[in-house]
Chain A
Amino acid sequence: MFKQTLHISTSPHLKRSIGTDDIMRNVVWALLPTSAFAVFSFGLSVFLLLMTAVAAAVLTEHVLCRLSGQQSTVDDWSAVITGLLLGLTLVGSVIAIALGKFAFGGLGYNTFNPALVGRAVLQAAFPVAITTWHPAFLDGRFSAIPSSTLALPFMEPHYDAISGATPLSAFKFDQVTTSSADLAMGLVSGSAGETCAVLILLGGIYLIARKMMNWRIPVALLLTVYVLSGIVHWFSPEAYPSPSFMLFSGGLMLGAIFMATDMVASPLTPPGAVLYGVLIGLLVVVIRLWGGLPEGVMYAILLANAISPHIDKALQPRVYGTVKKSKAA
């Protein structure tokens, strides 16, 4: 009896079974319906795009880890999310992982959402190519790949014939509105994964139910956009779009649910999360309605990412047994 050696470890000796890799894997599951719909509505080219983006993200992370003499961290699944998110808005995985994540120290240390960093760089470098959209539901979308898709952004594409204006730019530049129902169902053109709000919401609800997403962020964000644009629309319905149009158009859903909620780059205290959501919502409305760009979600989130540590610092929850807000410096 007792031939075994006893092991020792520090308490607690029980551990909840949700690990970081589980969280990341679940985010991937939650993005799958949106990805599937993107392939369905835009065709084969999107499938290739997503695969390329994910493969590039994972490969870049692996290679950079090896180059810097660390153990590869691809098994935590976070690079897959970055690739997928980026693919759903556009390509740029290498930049996203290298500049947005690895340069900051890898998972847990990235100040900004890597996928958005990737996209911001692309948008700065190839402004026309990245904002050229294919119309959805073209007949030959499963059999043919538009010649420009894979070549983008390295050659001058013949996009005039096949490009469709997004609802947001149509509104901004031509005063054409699109019905909110079409927007919600994704029957419009836009970036690959930004179109079907319903599927994105579904993914979000799944993650919230599994407690793998801070619900306060998307709720605060979407409410802010709705209320604020509602007020503006009420004052001048002709000049400004309706709040539901604002909610379901462009990258707002994808951004609110999958990008703003990037755990690493968002505040972790409950009041901080609310403030962060409100702030992004505010920025989105301001950029969309009064800025020079039709779409503002990306910059809004990146800006909020930058101040998220400060939000955390300022809005600590009240510590048990203390009277006022703790003066945590």
Chain B
Amino acid sequence: MGLFNFGHILTMKWFAAQTDSMSALTQRLGLPLRGIPNRYASKTFRNGVHPPEHKSETDGLPIKQFPFAPLLVLPTAQHIGAPSKIIVREGQEVVRGQLLAEADGYVSVPLHAPVSGRVRKIANVPTVKGEMAPGIYLEAFPASGQEVLEGEGIDYKTATQDDILQGIQNAGIVGLGGAAFPTHVKLKVPDDKPCEVLMLNGIECEPYLTTDHRVMLEQSEDIFTGIRYLLKSTGAERVIIGIEANKQDAADHLSRNIPEDLPVSVEVVPVKYPQGSEKMLITALLGKEVPSGGLPIDVGVVVVNVATTAEIGRLLPRGRGIQERVVTITGPGVEKKGNYLIPVGTPLRFVLEQVGVADDLSEVYLGGPMMGMAVSDLDISITKGSSGIVAFTEKEVSRTDKIYPCIKCGYCVDACPLSLNPSQLGILAKFEAYDEMADHHHLMDCFECGSCSYVCPSNIPLVQYFRMSKAIVRKRAAAQKEAANV
């Protein structure tokens, strides 16, 4: 088994080298890259796209501690699920690591103080969605030593499954890849569906972002400790760490450091967006498809992001909560690009002031450029799910955005990783045939990766149509449910 894995990594390396030289060649010839890696590697998923990566700008820069902002903005909804319940009062002094808000129910996580300071105000705070939401303004003590309050640690050797899940929830841990779904919920494996494979997601397919890359290089100890907790809580038999070929150094580093007693293998897959999606990663590594409307556990898999795993390995032994996260700050509009360890709640304005921005700054995205959201207000803050800040200048966004009619070129059909028909869905959305889209064209399967919009030569904002259509379908379903209950 070990030999097999080793040989496999070698061949993948060779494949990757081939693919790279092929890519370079095709790029020089101005040919699109689609389809070429597939010929060499069986480990992939259907369709997908190859946006320019721009990762080399920051992937060699070690993680640096970011300074503390004088005032932190902490919304209580930093995760999917119920917002946490505030348990501090205005004027109260808190220590770094102290609980500010507790979990409100099962699908919810608590919020810890990222700095020692004073609660200045409990009020509505700005969020990336553009709406105000309940939260806390926390004033940092400038001269404080900022040592962290520790709680009761959890030892993976003696803890039970439930201890670990509870510990993960108590630490306020959510998926750090961007979705910010409470990790303990994801790890709760149902009795009738055993978890066979624990998959660590080190794909980081969003262009520009390099946080997972740096975490894998610098925090491998934490990752392997995290794996011990995850193995116990899921009951998985083996672990696969999936990494894209553009992070070969991280793959090498992790494979060299796998502890003897852990059933871990590292697999390198060809670069293709959106491989970081759970479904795509499972298909690439195991050749299985998650059923439409189902979850990874339906095929015996639980997928956890590498940075989330590292966080579990770091926090649980000491009973700490999340206070900071690694964020890639990059893009042509940023002067001091890099990977920074930034306290949760740091306002974007402070972040950009520290790193410096270009004069013709035009758009700022929270997250990657493919799925991240454009920011309209710099008073919003870094939250647990913020993996990157990408700033574009006028030059990058001043493209002609004339929308042509759909010419049925089929580029979107060849791009959709789920083999949906975005062209057809787009036409249906125009006619507001939302039920038809959901019932006959798998609208609700769309996870909004944006590949269709990326390739559309007519500049049709397909994924935006689908986002709106999905929201309408959900709203209608909720209204129907309500009507049925009355």
- Is A155's CB within 8 Å of the partner chain B? no
CA distance A9 to B441 in the complex (A): 26
Q: Which residue of A lies closest to B352 (CB)?
A: A2
Please state if B404 and A16 are interface contacts (CB–CB under 8 Å).
Answer: no
Which of A105-113, A140-148, A157-165 lies at the binding interface? A105-113
Cβ contacts A to B, 13 pairs, < 8 Å: A6-B374, A8-B376, A11-B463, A12-B369, A14-B52, A14-B207, A15-B453, A15-B459, A20-B457, A209-B31, A211-B31, A211-B411, A321-B293
Contacts of B359 in A (CB 8 A): 4
Q: Mark A91-129, 1 if CB is under 8 A from B, else 0.
A: 000000000000001111100000000000000000000
CA distance A266 to B413 in the complex (A): 14
Please state if B409 and A321 are interface contacts (CB–CB under 8 Å).
Answer: no
A6: which of B361, B440, B445, B453 is its contact (CB, 8 Å)? B361
Which of A54-62, A191-199, A245-253, A311-319 lies at the binding interface? A311-319
Contacts of A211 in B (CB 8 A): 31-32, 34, 411
CA distance A241 to B357 in the complex (A): 71
B260 CB → nearest A CB, Å: 37
CA distance A21 to B457 in the complex (A): 8
Contacts of B361 in A (CB 8 A): 2, 4, 6
Please state if B440 and A328 are interface contacts (CB–CB under 8 Å).
Answer: yes
B419: which of A16, A19, A320 is its contact (CB, 8 Å)? A320
Chain A 275-318 interface residues, beta-carbon cutoff 8 Å to B: 312, 316-318
B residues neighboring A (CB under 8 Å): 30-32, 34, 46, 49, 51-52, 207, 279, 283, 289-294, 349, 352-353, 357, 359-365, 369-378, 390, 392, 397, 399-400, 404-411, 413-414, 417-421, 423-424, 436, 440-442, 445, 448, 450-451, 453-455, 457-459, 461, 463-464, 467
Q: Mark A61-105, 1 if CB is under 8 A from B, else 0.
A: 000000000000000101000000000000000000000000001
Top 6 A-B pairs, shortest CB-CB distance: A108-B405, A268-B410, A12-B450, A321-B292, A8-B374, A320-B418
Please state if B406 and A317 are interface contacts (CB–CB under 8 Å).
Answer: no
- What is the size, in residues, of chain A's interface with B at 8 Å between Cβ atoms? 52
Q: Give the number of residue pairs across the A-B interface with Cβ within 8 Å.
A: 184
CA distance A233 to B182 in the complex (A): 69
Please state if B409 and A268 are interface contacts (CB–CB under 8 Å).
Answer: yes
Known: A9-B397, A12-B463, A23-B457. A321 touches B363 (CB 8 A): no
Known: A76-B404, A107-B405. A321 touches B291 (CB 8 A): yes
Contacts of A268 in B (CB 8 A): 408-410, 413, 421, 423
CA distance A305 to B381 in the complex (A): 54
- Is A151's CB within 8 Å of the partner chain B? no
Q: Which residue of B lies closest to A10 (CB)?
A: B464
Known: A11-B371, A108-B405. A317 touches B413 (CB 8 A): yes
Determine the main DSSP class of A at the interface with B.
loop
CA distance A275 to B160 in the complex (A): 58
Please state if A6 and B375 are interface contacts (CB–CB under 8 Å).
Answer: yes
CA distance A329 to B461 in the complex (A): 25
Contacts of B459 in A (CB 8 A): 15, 19
- Is A214's CB within 8 Å of the partner chain B? yes
Please state if B369 and A9 are interface contacts (CB–CB under 8 Å).
Answer: no
Known: A8-B363, A263-B410, A320-B279. A13 touches B369 (CB 8 A): yes
Q: Which residue of A lies closest to B369 (CB)?
A: A13
A20: which of B364, B404, B414 is its contact (CB, 8 Å)? B404
Please state if B454 and A321 are interface contacts (CB–CB under 8 Å).
Answer: no
Most chain B CB inside 10 Å of its own CB: which residue of A9, A22, A312, A318: A9
Extra 6 A-B pairs, beta carbons < 8 Å, given A12-B370, A264-B408: A13-B363, A13-B369, A19-B458, A107-B404, A263-B407, A269-B413
Please state if B362 and A210 are interface contacts (CB–CB under 8 Å).
Answer: no
CA distance A124 to B390 in the complex (A): 60
Contacts of B405 in A (CB 8 A): 105-109
Please state if A19 and B457 are interface contacts (CB–CB under 8 Å).
Answer: yes
Please state if B292 and A320 are interface contacts (CB–CB under 8 Å).
Answer: yes
Contacts of A265 in B (CB 8 A): 408
B455: which of A7, A16, A107, A321 is its contact (CB, 8 Å)? A16
Contacts of A20 in B (CB 8 A): 404, 407, 409, 457-458
Chain A 223-264 interface residues, beta-carbon cutoff 8 Å to B: 263-264
- Is A179's CB within 8 Å of the partner chain B? no
Please state if A22 and B457 are interface contacts (CB–CB under 8 Å).
Answer: yes
Known: A12-B453, A14-B369. A264 touches B407 (CB 8 A): yes
B370: which of A11, A321, A322, A327 is its contact (CB, 8 Å)? A11
CA distance A180 to B48 in the complex (A): 42
Contacts of B283 in A (CB 8 A): 320
B36 CB → nearest A CB, Å: 11
Q: Which residue of A lies closest to B51 (CB)?
A: A14
Q: Which residue of B lies closest to A71 (CB)?
A: B402
Contacts of A214 in B (CB 8 A): 410
Please state if A18 and B292 are interface contacts (CB–CB under 8 Å).
Answer: no
Contacts of B349 in A (CB 8 A): 2
Known: A4-B360, A264-B407, A319-B442. A14 touches B370 (CB 8 A): yes
Q: Which residue of A lies closest to B280 (CB)?
A: A320
B371 CB → nearest A CB, Å: 5
Known: A14-B454, A317-B413, A320-B289. A6 touches B392 (CB 8 A): no
A274 CB → nearest B CB, Å: 13
Please state if B458 and A16 are interface contacts (CB–CB under 8 Å).
Answer: no
- Is A326's CB within 8 Å of the partner chain B? yes
Contacts of A4 in B (CB 8 A): 359-362
A247 CB → nearest B CB, Å: 26
A6 CB → nearest B CB, Å: 6
CA distance A78 to B464 in the complex (A): 27
CA distance A329 to B399 in the complex (A): 38
Chain A 12-44 interface residues, beta-carbon cutoff 8 Å to B: 12-16, 18-23
Please state if A8 and B375 are interface contacts (CB–CB under 8 Å).
Answer: yes
CA distance A18 to B360 in the complex (A): 26
A16 CB → nearest B CB, Å: 5
Q: Which residue of B lies closest to A214 (CB)?
A: B410
CA distance A326 to B294 in the complex (A): 16
Known: A7-B397, A109-B405, A268-B410. A12 touches B454 (CB 8 A): yes
CA distance A15 to B451 in the complex (A): 9
Please state if A108 and B406 are interface contacts (CB–CB under 8 Å).
Answer: yes
Contacts of B31 in A (CB 8 A): 209-211
